[in-house]
């Protein structure tokens, strides 16, 4: 089974979010205020003066806490050390003991199996004696410990080529193509498989950039593109809009499918009936579209695409681009709205 790993930029985003949510308090206390700290056995009491106002904040230090950090030396993008360093800055974790391990070390595989952790880097907390805000990020493991949710995606057991690329089975790739609309040259060596939803602002950013046109112009017959549905649950229009795209394909064809999709990304409207209005402007029959939409006849297809994306490529958000060498099955993921140059770096390597 094929799996995925992210580029370092994704984990950089995670580090930033982690800092904002867990250490913003420490930032203001330490950088913007004059402070004095009084220590007791298990508590730090800090009095801060800022703009002639004084505030006293008390926090409990984590007790008897060991954080096991598991990385993989094969993953150059994982940013394991960077996340660990940010955790060490969290005031509540000041007394925590950090233990570093690599996936290749004895006992690590068994530890991961015991906790049901499949993706690296992993940060395993021996208990949850942490600040209340941080508990939101801890997931109970099978053996009674807690795993810090960093949306890690490096699978140490995944099959890789001699060049280090992850591999997708050719049967799986064929199934994906059979359940999709291929744009540009169907026989191209490289496929750009994009998981997206029409209400995603970062997806719109990618589509409204010069990336699609630039890649088509540069690589020509060597590349094709596939759009697969991945409607995010918090985007209320994502699923009905995916249904409408499929419905307009049924009555007008794949060219209209992509045409309406690009129109939606360009306009970035949030009105529920927006796509029907635009489809009618493209000479689609409104009654036919509404009947198709009400039937939810394409829900299975949409769900299948979403499930395959999650299972095979680790899709968790959008846009999630998978660049695939159709001859070797090698692939690399770009899971954000990256500039054209980042796509070109990967495609050039895949073409060699």
Number of domains comprising the chain: 2
pLDDT tens for each residue of 32-63: 334 444 443 444 444 334 344 444 444 567 77
- Could you give the percent of the chain with pLDDT greater than 90? 54
Q: Are residues 62 and 144 in the same domain?
A: yes
Q: Are residues 192 and 277 in the same domain?
A: yes
- Could you give the percent of the chain with pLDDT greater than 70? 83
In this predicted structure, the answer to whether residue 69 has a pLDDT above a threshold of 60 is: yes
Q: Are residues 338 and 195 in the same domain?
A: yes
Phi, psi of 295 (to 5 degrees): -75, -20
- CATH code for the domain of 135: 3.40.30
Q: Are residues 127 and 170 in the same domain?
A: no
| Separation of alpha carbons 345 and 4, rounded Å | 18
Average pLDDT over residues 185-208: 95
DSSP structure class, residue 220: G
Report if residue 241 sits inside a domain: yes
Report if residue 159 sits inside a domain: no
Report if residue 2 sits inside a domain: no
Report if residue 127 sits inside a domain: yes
Q: Are residues 196 and 318 in the same domain?
A: yes
| Separation of alpha carbons 127 and 129, rounded Å | 6
Which residues is 70 bridged to in the sheet? 101, 122
Residue 253's pLDDT band, with cuts at 50, 70 and 90, is: confident
In this predicted structure, the answer to whether residue 316 has a pLDDT above a threshold of 70 is: yes
Q: What is the pLDDT of residue 330?
A: 96
Q: What is the pLDDT of residue 3?
A: 44
Average pLDDT over residues 126-134: 86
Q: Are residues 206 and 346 in the same domain?
A: yes
| Separation of alpha carbons 318 and 325, rounded Å | 21
Which of 157-161, 271-275, 301-305 is predicted most confidently?
301-305
Report if residue 65 sits inside a domain: yes
Q: Are residues 170 and 131 in the same domain?
A: no
CA 254: distance to chain centroid? Answer: 27
Query: Mean pLDDT across the chain, nearest whole number?
Result: 83
Q: Are residues 211 and 325 in the same domain?
A: yes
In this predicted structure, the answer to whether residue 112 has a pLDDT above a threshold of 50 is: yes
pLDDT tens for each residue of 70-109: 999 988 778 899 999 999 988 888 889 999 999 999 999 9
Q: Residue 178 belongs to what domain range?
A: 166-351
pLDDT tens for each residue of 239-250: 999 999 999 898
**How do 190-196 and 320-325 pair as beta strands?**
antiparallel
Select from 148, 183, 205 the last residue of a domain.
Answer: 148
In this predicted structure, the answer to whether residue 10 has a pLDDT above a threshold of 70 is: no
**Helical residues (DSSP H) of the chain, grouped into ranges:** 8-31, 80-89, 108-115, 132-135, 170-178, 201-207, 211-219, 238-252, 254-267, 274-281, 286-295, 299-313, 340-351
Return the axis-axis angle of helices 274-281 and 254-267, rounded to nearest 10°. 130
Report if residue 1 sits inside a domain: no
Residue 317's pLDDT band, with cuts at 50, 70 and 90, is: confident
Cβ 250 vs Cβ 244: under 8 Å: no
Select from 148, 182, 205 the last residue of a domain.
Answer: 148
Q: Are residues 135 and 85 in the same domain?
A: yes
Report if residue 311 sits inside a domain: yes
| Separation of alpha carbons 338 and 10, rounded Å | 11
| Separation of alpha carbons 140 and 338, rounded Å | 34
Q: Are residues 82 and 183 in the same domain?
A: no
| Separation of alpha carbons 288 and 24, rounded Å | 53
Q: Are residues 344 and 232 in the same domain?
A: yes
Geometric angle at alpha carbon 148, from 142 and 150, rounded to 5°: 125
Select from 114, 148, 182 the last residue of a domain.
Answer: 148
Q: Are residues 142 and 54 in the same domain?
A: yes
- CATH code for the domain of 183: 3.40.30.10
């Amino acid at each position: 089974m094929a799996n995925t790993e992210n580029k370092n930029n994704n984990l950089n985003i995670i580090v930033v979010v982690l800092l904002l949510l867990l250490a913003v308090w420490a930032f203001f206390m330490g950088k913007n205020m004059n402070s004095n700290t009084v220590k007791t056995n298990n508590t730090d009491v800090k009095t801060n003066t800022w703009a002639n106002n004084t505030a006293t904040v008390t926090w409990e230090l984590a007790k008897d806490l060991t954080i096991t950090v598991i990385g993989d030396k094969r993953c150059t993008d994982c940013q394991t050390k960077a996340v660990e360093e940010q955790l060490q800055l969290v005031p509540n974790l000041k007394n925590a003991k950090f233990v570093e391990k690599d996936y290749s070390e004895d006992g690590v595989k068994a530890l991961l199996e015991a906790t049901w952790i499949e993706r690296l880097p992993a940060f395993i907390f021996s208990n949850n004696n942490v600040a209340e805000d941080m508990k939101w990020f801890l997931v109970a493991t099978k053996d009674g410990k807690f795993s810090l949710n960093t949306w890690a995606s490096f699978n140490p057991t995944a099959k890789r080529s001699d060049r280090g690329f992850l591999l997708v089975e050719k049967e799986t790739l064929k199934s994906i193509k059979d359940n999709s609309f291929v744009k540009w040259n169907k026989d191209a060596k490289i496929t750009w498989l994009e998981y997206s939803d029409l209400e995603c602002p970062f997806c719109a950013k990618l589509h409204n950039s010069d990336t699609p046109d630039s890649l088509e112009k540069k690589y020509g017959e060597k590349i094709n593109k596939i759009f697969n549905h991945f409607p995010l649950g918090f985007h209320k229009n994502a699923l009905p809009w995916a249904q409408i795209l499929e419905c307009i394909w049924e009555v007008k064809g794949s060219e209209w499918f992509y045409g309406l999709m690009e129109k939606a990304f360009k306009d970035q409207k949030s009105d529920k009936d927006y796509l029907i209005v635009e489809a009618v402007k493209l000479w689609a029959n409104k009654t036919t579209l509404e009947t198709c939409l009400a039937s939810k006849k394409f829900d299975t297809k949409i769900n299948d695409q979403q499930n395959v994306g999650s299972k095979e490529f680790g899709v968790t958000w959008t846009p999630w681009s998978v660049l695939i060498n159709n001859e070797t099955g090698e692939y690399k993921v770009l899971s954000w709205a990256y500039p054209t140059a980042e796509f070109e770096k990967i495609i050039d390597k895949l073409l060699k």
